[in-house]
Amino acid sequence: MSLNSYMSLNISNSTSNPLPFKITKALIKESLEELFSIECEGFFESLEQDLFSLNTLTNASSHLSTPTTFNFHPNVLIDQEAILSIHNPYENNTLNFDNNEVKNYKGIITYIKYLGINHESALNINDSTSNTKQIQYKHFFSFKLQSVLIRLSLNKANRIYTHTNIIEVIKQTLGFYQDILHKEIDYSNIHFNYEEQELISQYNESDLDFITRLSHNNGIFFYEDENTIYFCDVYKNVKNKEIEYNPNINNILNQACISSIYKEQSLRTNSFTHSSINANTPLNLLSLHSSKVPYEQELNNKACYNEYFYESEYSFTKSIDLKTKPSLKEKRALVLNESLLAKSNIYHLSLGDFITLNYKEFNHQEEIKNQDEEKQDKASLLKDFIIIANTQILIDDAILANSINTNDHLNLKDLNLNKSYSNTLTLLKKNIIFTPSFKAKPKAPNSTQGIVIGE
C-alpha cells in the first residue's frame, strides 16, 4: 500500500521552504459563477510530539546539516499563499490517461484548524515486521483554500466613477490589489464594447461584490487557473478534449470516461416575457444564438423588443434589475434551461474546457452515415460542451493504514481505507454563451437622506 498521497498542499512560509502537507480528503467547488473554494484535511509528519514548540527541523530536500525553521501556528499560516496539487489518483495505471499532468490550485488559506496528533503504531498493518525507525507523529489539520480574490471581500467602500465604462472601473479596482493578487489578469476575452456611463457608484460594497455586480449584470464572467485570472464575455479559445461516454458503471475504473449525464431543474420565478413583430427577433427563446457561428452574429448585439415586462419576485416599483437588458435575461434563461450535469472520473478537467463526447459505439454506425448534414449538425450540439462548473470529491485515507495497531480489536475489513476520485461537471452546449446570475445593488437605509444613483 502506497505511503504517498496523490494530493499535497504546500503552504508558503516566510521563514522556510513551503510547508508540505499530505492531504487525505478534499472537496473542491469551482464555477464560472463564483470563486473556487477547497475544503481539505491532511497531516504533517514529524519526529516531534509538540509541533508548536518546534523551532528547527532538517528539511529532507535540503542539505542534511541545514536547519530549517517551521512555524505551524494558525495565526501564522492564515492568509498565506498555498498550492493544492493533484496527481493521477489511480495507482498502477488503473486508468490510462494520455498525459499524467499535475493539476494545481493556487490560492490563500482562509481557514485553518489543528485537529490533533496521531502516534504512528510500531505494529502497524502496513509493515508490522519492520524494525526501521520511521517518522512517528502525524499532526492533523483542516484547511480552507480559496481564490486570492477573496481578499477583495474584506473591505467596504463608497466610491463614485464618472464618465467611464465598467471595464475601466474593474481594472482600476483590481489595481488597488496588484501587489497581493500575485496573478496575471487577462482581459483579452472581452470582445464587446461597453459604453461610457456618466456615473457608476459603489455604495457600501466590498470591492469583490462591486466588481462581481458590474461584471455579472453586463454578462461578463471571471474565473482563474494557477497563474491567471480571466475576465470574459466570450469563451477563451482552448483545444477540444475528446472524452468517452460509457454508462456502464462496472467499467468506471477501466476507462477514463463520463459515466452519466442527467438534468436537474427547480421551480423559479419567470424572469421576463417578451413579444415581437420583428422578423429578426421571433418569439422564440433560442432567438439570440446561432448554431453555426456562436458569438459572431450581429443579432446577438442588435436584438430588439417591441414590448417586455418583468415578472420577478419583486414588485415593478421595487425591482432591483430594471436596467438589466432583456437580451441578457434571455441568455441567462438559456443557461438555466440548457445546462446538464455529468459524472466522470477524469481529474484533469478544468473550467472553460471544451469537451466532445464520443458515444459512437452506442449508436448504429449505419444510421450515422445515412444522416444528412443538417441532422449531423444538430446531433453535434448534443456532444460539444463547455465546462461551467466542477465539484470534485477526493479521498485518500489509505495512507493512514500505518497508524493502525494490529493489537487493537478492530475489524480491518470495516475500516474502509480507500483512494478514490469523482467529480460532477456542469455542462453547457458550446454554442451558448454562459451568462452569470444578476446581482442586486445595495440599497441605502431608510434613514439615509441622500440618493444613490448611477449604475
Where do the domains of the chain lie? 7-151+391-424
Split at pLDDT 50, 70, 90, the class of 72 is confident
Check if the beta carbon of residue 84 is closer than 8 Å to that of residue 177: no
Residue type at 83 in one-letter notation = I
Burial 275-294 (b: 16+ CB within 10 A, else e): ebeeeebeeeeebbbeeeeb
Q: What does the radius of gyration of the chain's CA atoms come to, in whole angstroms?
A: 26
61: its cell numbers: 530536500
Report the range of poorest mean pLDDT among 144-158, 209-223, 370-384: 370-384
More confident residue, 193 or 445: 193
pLDDT band at 437 (very low <50, low <70, confident <90, very high): very high
Question: Region 107-135: what's the mean pLDDT?
Answer: 67
pLDDT at 300: 46
What does the buried/exposed string (b/e) look like for 106-115 if buried means 16 or more CB atoms within 10 Å of the residue's CB? bbbbbebeee
Look at residue 347 and tell me whether its pLDDT is greater than 50.
yes
Q: Which residue is it, cell 467611464? A: 164
Chain mean position to CA 187: 19
Q: Which secondary structure element, helix H or strand E, spans residue 9, and what is its range? A: strand 7-11
Question: In angstroms, how far is CA 389 from the centroid of its own chain?
Answer: 6
Least confident of 305-314, 342-351, 377-386: 305-314
- End-to-end C-alpha distance for the chain, whole angstroms: 59
Confidence label for 23 from pLDDT (cuts 50, 70 and 90): very high
- pLDDT number for residue 388: 97
Q: What's the confidence (pLDDT) of residue 200?
A: 93
CA atoms within 13 A on the CB side of 156: 3
Please say whether the beta carbons of 3 and 399 come within 8 A.
yes
Phi, psi of 44 (to 5 degrees): -115, 130
> How far is 192 from 435, CA to CA, in rounded Å?
14
Phi-psi region of 93 (alpha: psi -120 to 50; beta: other; left: phi over 0): left
DSSP assignment letter at 267 = -
The answer to whether 321 touches 438, Cβ cutoff 8 Å, is yes
Model confidence pLDDT, tens digit, residues 237-290: 999 999 988 888 776 567 888 989 999 888 877 665 555 555 554 444 444 444
The average pLDDT across 14-36 equals 90
| 411 pLDDT tier (thresholds 50, 70, 90) | low
Residues, the chain, total? 455
Residue 133 pLDDT > 50, yes or no?
no
The whole-number average pLDDT for the span 374-399 is 78
Residue 369: pLDDT band with limits 50, 70, 90 = low
Rounded-to-integer distance, Cα 242 and Cα 349, Å = 11
Q: How far apart are CA 268 and CA 170, in angstroms?
A: 31
Question: Could you tell me which residue, 252 or 85, shows the higher pLDDT?
Answer: 85
Asked if residue 167 lies in contact with residue 187, where contact means CB atoms within 8 angstroms, the answer is yes
In this structure, are residues 132 and 112 in contact, taking their beta carbons and an 8 Å threshold? no
**Is the model more confident about 96 or about 223?**
223
Sign of CA dihedral 328, 329, 334, 337: positive
Span 47-70, pLDDT tens digits: 666 666 544 443 444 343 334 456
> Percent of the chain, pLDDT > 90?
42
Average pLDDT score over residue span 291-304: 45
Q: For 287, what's the count of Cα atoms within 13 Å in the CB-facing half-sphere?
A: 22
- Compute CA 63 distance to the chain's CA centroid, rounded to the nearest angstrom: 38
Q: Which residue has the higher pLDDT, 54 or 326?
A: 326
Mean pLDDT on 345-362:
86
- For the stretch 165-207, pLDDT in tens is 999 999 999 999 989 999 999 999 999 999 999 999 998 899 9
143 pLDDT higher than 90: yes
Residue with cell 456611463: 197
pLDDT > 70 in the chain, percent: 63
DSSP letter for 370, please.
Answer: H
Identify the helix (H) or strand (E) that includes residue 210.
helix 207-216
DSSP 333: H
Q: Is it the case that residue 422 has pLDDT exceeding 80? A: yes
| Window from 165-169, 291-295, 409-413 with minimum mean pLDDT | 291-295
Strand duo 241-245 + 137-146: pairing: unpaired
Q: Mind listing the pLDDT tens digit for each residue in 298-322?
A: 444 444 444 444 444 444 444 445 5
Give the residue with greater pLDDT, 154 vs 17: 154
Q: Which helix (H) or strand (E) holds 373?
A: helix 373-380
Smallest Cα–Cα separation from 274: which of 311, 320, 309? 309
Confidence at residue 40, expressed as pLDDT on a 0 to 100 scale: 95
* Of the listed ranges 70-79, 205-214, 342-351, the one predicted with least confidence: 70-79
